[in-house]
């Protein structure tokens, strides 16, 4: 009965693993979840009451698809301050998480057989969203500076129907790596010669633990080719499901129409609560608190990994975000490692999930934001012991 386009629709590996992590006592480095103890619950409670008391009729009513204008104004200002991108509120569409921005991008730009270029590895939620439109994925070799530009150029010169390039230049999921400024500039120079949409997915850019942030691709975009996706999920809370698309006014109009068909608009109440939170509290202070906690958790995890992991395990040292990427010797299959480590009460995501064309079964992604320092100190040696039995 199902439409042809659903033939690649299958549940994500991560969902299956996350189900297992619900078992009591499990130490999970698997999900990409924020630390719930850092959610500003009391502030949100106060703001929610304020919104209901003073704007209840509006907050519980339908609204326009574009989103609540005062929130779009606040986001446009933040785009300038945080991502160097000058834009107007008319270039902002509020979405139900940045995941919806990814899905709408697939819907708007991909015909069956079009080519999507992505980093190798990349975010599996994006593969899931794009797969409904039956594209062909080409993974562009990626090193610790970003996509390898010679490879990108070769692929662009030799491949028909490249339509969309999906990248996460800041503290990428799953590797935690960030692109250098040179690569960002080179990328924008190269793609400016092609009719390609660049989807810049940036949920982690503000979670930076050392150094200065680098300009977003959107800020280097001379030809209105970049669609920037932002999110409140990791800087406030993911449960509200509020993110945004920032794009040229012409493209944004299409996103608005596609979103209207999908879900009419993002929750009015959640938008208003975030707007009032930004007015009445200091989001920067909240982000700074989150960064302090995650920086410490990252440091502890890396320290314990340095001590406990075998020398042949290579891992990233991320300057921000939520993840550490581990590569084991090529003969190790981390799906088998996972089966054993779940028996020992430890979960992670096998690296193969992050390659749209498969392979690369010897890597793993570890999350450091969601478990306490004690759990990290307890869990990493247990995981290391399991890994050693495979090497």
Strand order in the sheet with 226-231: 92-95, 243-246, 226-231, 197-201, 162-167, 115-120, 136-143, 146-147
Comparing CB distances to ligand PLP, the nearer of 21 and 99 is 99
Considering the complex, what minimum distance in angstroms separates the CB of residue 171 from ligand PLP? 9
Comparing CB distances to ligand PLP, the nearer of 11 and 24 is 11
Comparing CB distances to ligand PLP, the nearer of 233 and 272 is 233
Comparing CB distances to ligand PLP, the nearer of 175 and 219 is 175
Angle between helices 97-109 and 249-263 (to 10 degrees): 110
CA distance 150 to 135: 23
Considering the complex, what minimum distance in angstroms separates the CB of residue 30 from ligand PLP? 12
Comparing CB distances to ligand PLP, the nearer of 21 and 98 is 98
Considering the complex, what minimum distance in angstroms separates the CB of residue 274 from ligand PLP? 13
DSSP string, 137-204: EEEEEEETTEE-HHHHHHHHHH-S-EEEEEE--SS-TTT-----HHHHHHHHHHHTTS--EEEEE-SS
Considering the complex, what minimum distance in angstroms separates the CB of residue 382 from ligand PLP? 25
How large is the C-alpha radius of gyration of the chain? 21
The residues of the shown chain that bind ligand PLP, judged by CB under 6 A, are 32, 97-99, 123, 125, 168, 173, 201, 203, 231, 233, 238, 243
- State the residue number with the nearest CB to ligand PLP: 97
| Contact criterion met (CB below 8 Å) for 113 and 136 | yes
Considering the complex, what minimum distance in angstroms separates the CB of residue 98 from ligand PLP? 4
Which residue do the tokens 């692109």 mark?
179
**Among 256, 160, 146, 151, residue whose Cα is nearest residue 200:** 146
Comparing CB distances to ligand PLP, the nearer of 129 and 342 is 129
């Amino acid at each position: 009965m199902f439409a042809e386009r659903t033939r690649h629709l299958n549940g994500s590996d991560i969902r299956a693993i996350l189900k297992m992590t619900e078992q009591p006592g499990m130490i999970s480095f698997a999900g990409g979840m924020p630390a719930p103890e850092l959610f500003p619950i009391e502030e949100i409670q106060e703001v929610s009451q304020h919104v209901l008391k003073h704007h209840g009729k509006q907050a519980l009513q339908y609204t326009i698809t574009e989103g609540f204008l005062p929130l779009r104004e606040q986001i446009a200002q933040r785009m300038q301050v945080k991502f160097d991108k000058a834009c107007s509120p008319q270039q902002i569409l509020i979405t139900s998480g940045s995941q919806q921005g990814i899905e709408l991008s697939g819907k708007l730009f991909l015909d069956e057989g079009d080519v999507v270029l992505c980093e190798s590895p990349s975010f599996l939620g994006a593969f899931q969203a794009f797969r409904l439109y039956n594209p062909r994925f080409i993974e562009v070799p990626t090193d610790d500076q970003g996509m390898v530009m010679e490879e990108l150029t070769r692929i662009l010169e030799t491949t028909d129907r490249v339509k969309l390039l999906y990248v996460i230049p800041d503290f990428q999921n799953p590797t935690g790596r960030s692109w250098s400024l040179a690569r960002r500039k080179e990328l924008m120079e190269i793609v400016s010669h092609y009719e390609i949409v660049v989807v810049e997915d940036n949920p982690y850019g503000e979670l930076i633990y050392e150094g200065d942030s680098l300009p977003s691709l959107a800020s280097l975009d001379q030809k209105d080719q970049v669609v920037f996706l932002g999110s409140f999920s990791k800087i406030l809370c993911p449960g509200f499901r509020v993110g945004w698309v920032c794009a040229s006014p012409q493209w944004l109009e299409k996103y608005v129409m596609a979103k209207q068909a999908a879900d009419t608009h993002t929750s009015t109440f959640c938008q208003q609560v975030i707007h009032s939170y930004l007015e009445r509290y200091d989001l920067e202070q909240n982000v700074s608190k989150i960064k302090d906690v995650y920086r410490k958790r990252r440091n502890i995890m890396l320290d314990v990994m340095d001590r406990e992991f075998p020398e042949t395990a290579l891992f990233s040292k991320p300057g921000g975000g939520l993840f550490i990427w581990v590569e084991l010797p090529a003969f190790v299959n981390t799906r088998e490692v996972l089966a054993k480590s779940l028996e020992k009460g430890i979960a992670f995501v096998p690296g193969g999930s992050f390659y749209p064309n498969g392979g690369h079964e010897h890597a793993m992604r570890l999350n450091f934001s969601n478990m306490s320092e004690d759990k990290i100190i307890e869990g990493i040696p247990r995981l290391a012991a399991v890994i050693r039995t495979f090497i």
